[in-house]
Amino acid sequence: MNILITGGAGYIGSATSYLLLKKKIKPVIIDKLIYKKDNIIPKKTIFFKSNISNLILVKKIIKKYNINSVIHFAAYKDVEESTLKPRKYYNNNYLITKKFINCCKENGVNNFIFSSTAAVYGNLDKNKKVTENSPLKPISIYGSTKKKIEEYLKKVSDKNFKFFSLRYFNVLGADKYFRYGPIGLNLNSFSNNLYKSIISGQDFKIFGNNHKTLDGTPVRDFIHVDDLANIHFESLKYLIKNKKNQICNCGYGKGYSIEHVIKTLYKNKEMNLNYSFSKKRPGDISYMVADTKKLNRILNWKPKYSNLKKMIFSELRWRKKLTNN
């Protein structure tokens, strides 16, 4: 395998890069390092600091290293920011990505793994698991750009260019050796907001206790970053062997309410954590849990991690390390 990873110095990208190195595969990485000192460049990889919009460089890399497979992570990913800066997200996550896909296809890339998201589903307003055939009704610009790229991949795919789109649910966790973990401490995410509440002593805000769920708080499906990295590797092996396009949900298929998660952590006496409720925000999704039957079936995949508490604590330790550096 000759693999190019875009965004390979980011959270999931670096986890996947380390996994490939463990498999004796030396990937080529393109990353513009938007998080500067927080970015993680795995040793022994071939690294280029650049945006994927530099198609001249992309073409040279594909030709020089005989790249036949691409794992594409590079994208802006803050859902809330995408509503405030829609042009930024539309330009980078859609227009630039389209041109990048064309460059890959025109220069001999055969396999394309796409980093998608559960945000393509939007708010289905039903307390049941989401399948790959559920309606796609994104309510954010971020989700919309991912949906449009999936549609574009279907359009340009042919016998020599196949894709595998992975729709992530909520990614958690960090490497037990502290080599990688979530980066960008200003991102608006569950784990980031949780960490900021712990170090500041301020209440963790749960948005709404009137959702149509068992305890009234949003329900989410979490997956460890190492399991997700492994899914990328297995997806690439599938494409190379079967040469068939696929779209799969990436989660554990188990939902946890946000209040349940916080109460579990609250029992830890060493942790300074309190919580309170805020009003439900317009567009907040009440229930988002993956149906993973398709992923398990076609990749014969089973998760290695399942303990949510351990996943969260590994990430909190990582964030503390970043803050102290």
13 touches 47 (CB < 8 A) = no
- 114: number of CA atoms within 13 Å, CB side? 32
Q: Which two tokens stand for residue 129?
A: 């698991």
- 75: number of CA atoms within 13 Å, CB side? 27
62 touches 106 (CB < 8 A) = no
Burial class (CB in 10 A: 0-12, 13-18, 19+), 169: buried
207 touches 218 (CB < 8 A) = yes
CA dihedral 261, 263, 264, 265 (to 10 degrees): 90
The answer to whether residue 142 is catalytic is yes
The catalytically annotated residue of 18, 142, 238, 305 is 142
Place of tokens 């309170």: 276
259 touches 270 (CB < 8 A) = no
254, 273, 270: which is closest to 262 by C-alpha?
273
91 touches 28 (CB < 8 A) = no
Q: How far apart are CA 93 and CA 143, in angstroms?
A: 10
β-pair partners for 238: none
Active site residues: 142
